[in-house]
Structure 1
Amino acid sequence: MQASKSSYDVVIVGGAVVGSSAAFFLASNPDFKGSILVIEKDWTYARSATALSSSSIRHQFSNAINVQISQFGTEFIREFTKHVAVDGDAPELGFHENGYLFLAGDARGRAVLERNHETQVACGAEITLLEPEALGQRFPWLNLDGLTLGSYGERGEGWFDSSGLMNGFRKKARSLGVEYIEDEVVEITREGDRIVSVTTKGGQTIACGTLVNTSGTRGKKMARLAGLDIPVEPRRRSLFVVSCKTPLPGVVGLTIDPTGVFFRPEGQFYLMGTYPRHDPEVDPEDFDVMHAEFEEEIWPILAERVPAFEAIKVVNSWAGHYDYCTLDHNVILGPHTEVKNFLFANGFSGHGLQQSPAMGRGLSELITYGTFRTLDLSPFGYQRVVANEPFLEDAVI
């Protein structure tokens, strides 16, 4: 598929949820008057991190700005229909606001939840700390053995239709004049401290004023095409959908065991997984499910934590990838320190979906005004990579 023009003010490489959010916010900004092209290699999005994620959002982070990013995300999701409707039509996201439940298993884990809670509450997040007795009262399906504290999101946290979010951004952006093509960038031409053009697999060379790298697990490869580098690599995460002989009563949030193994309801089933603890960098085309991980870790841990899960059956499974930032588990956002018109949005480490509204808005502000005007996202800038100064996020699942 060929682009309709040979030159655009902004070229966005990667059209899943972060790229389409950037396109949406940029096209919606009345102060931006330029042209926008989004290049996406696969319009099915079947293997995008967006489609293969656990489709959740939380306010329980250790870093204040991550809390604020997700607070904006929740606000945007609640008003999604209003923001993206085209001719009165918009996807229904089905936001299940059941909260996250983080569990601590020792004194150290308790101290982490207490410290994070102070940060979260200072940002206005509605998070409640629960002693073991209170945990048992609110969540009677939970085995309290070894637990020292729980942290539960009363409002603003839950799960929703990830593809609906992406498609809403994409459809609205296109209605506002953003052009999308299905192709792959195979070459980036750089002259000194500027990117001047990209060349696609389809053989088209396209000049650009600004290049935005939102290509997920291929973000590192895209940077290297421009002679740049980022500490980001693909890490595999397998997810399993199970049926349970005895459904859990009452409200069930996304529950994270002290080991990092988690589950949440998925309709009449339950979705289970863990953070990418074992895999080193993997091939971004490797989508093999780690079934042994379920049998050896996920199921034994959750069956002990939730006795009803002793009798479960896997009904579906898939593997996706984190674009994992090895420096500090946070996104790298904004311009390269030397190549100012190459903008990163890479290394979300599993947080890209929930952070996409704020990141798209931030990229729009950078491109239009040269600075952030709402949330100050500058701590995520590339300069910390150069200085080797991590901006750590501890709450990674």
Structure 2
Amino acid sequence: MANGEREAGAVPLPAPGGAEHPTPGGDAPAGGFVQLLTPDGERVDSVTTADGMTYSVDFTDEEYRKLYADLVTVRRLDAEATALQRQGELGIWASLLGQEAAQVGSGHALRKQDMAFPTYREHGVLYTRGIDPIMPFGLFRGVDQGGWDPNEYKFNTYTIVIGSQTLHATGYAMGITMDGKTGSPDGEAVIAYFGDGATSQGDVNEAFVWSGVFNAPIVFFCQNNQYAISEPLERQTRIPLYRRAAGYGFPGIRIDGNDVLATYAVTRAALDQARNGQGPSLIEAYTYRMGAHTSSDDPTRYRIASEVESWKAKDPIARVKAFLAKQQIADDTFFAEIDESAKKLALDLRERVLAMPDPQPVTMFDNVYPHGSPEVDGQRAEFERYHASFEGSDH
């Protein structure tokens, strides 16, 4: 489990002449990051950062196997979704390929009472919250607007508008404080997910301001996958993203986003600090989007194949598999069983997606307002007249 404490309001500063966030591997960016599992599958017992925080995990063998199973499963489901979109069964899909560790690790770090605010790519976090993986497919197929209850699962609906969920999360976190639900180990905390591109949005920076001023119990979790939609990181910022937190008065830390163990340890610690009244923090998960931004994107237009290949060597699933094998925690039979289980779940998901009913176009007006609206009623009537004008036509 993650451990270590910091004084409320303290902002970690770079170590003089050394790495801010040390890592034992040679794959870290300038300035380093927190890493507990190397790309070769070697475990690091603990990492202590320049601000005195120590991060480690203490999992049972079964918990390690569970992490691996979740990583494999969410990747397989994601691959099935991409195939469905290419076959015309989904309007669009935002793949998480390459970001499984950042999502599964942080998702498991959440406690039951914590609330998550996702973008449109957090399929792995959704899975760890116990939500039926079919749920996002209604949204991307145009059948509904997301079918799960955010209050039941403590996982908000997907947000398409870039960065706006950080403001929603900040308001929710401020409400937790006003309701007296912080200040103890059993308190509540909030996590807000967004990408490196979203850090250029005003909404995200406003969320930072409000959270810092009101000491909101929130963890901002940035999945830095290097390219936003199509712009490289150097066009988004002149400093590492986690260092922006200092300007807003709260701590920032960078982790190896392809390391599920470091992701879990740092996120669990940050959430626990938030629920205990120590305010917000920013985690930059340094990872890589292996596929396209969405199924409408062509990444070959803005990045080279050799770069993608270099990141394949840092694959988040391969390193866990290597670790499990080296430590004799799992064998070939286990790995084959997980692959088969994930395959069956994906095939079941495909059948359920194809069985979804096609909604009537007019139903788009049904849930705009809970008690109706004369303006929306007028728009519905106009839409129905327009469609009726084609009756009996060959077009």
Is TM (by shorter chain) over 0.5?
no
Of Structure 1 and Structure 2, which has the larger fraction of its residues in helix? Answer: 2
TM-score, normalized by length of structure 2?
0.22
Of Structure 1 and Structure 2, which has the larger fraction of its residues in strand? Answer: 1
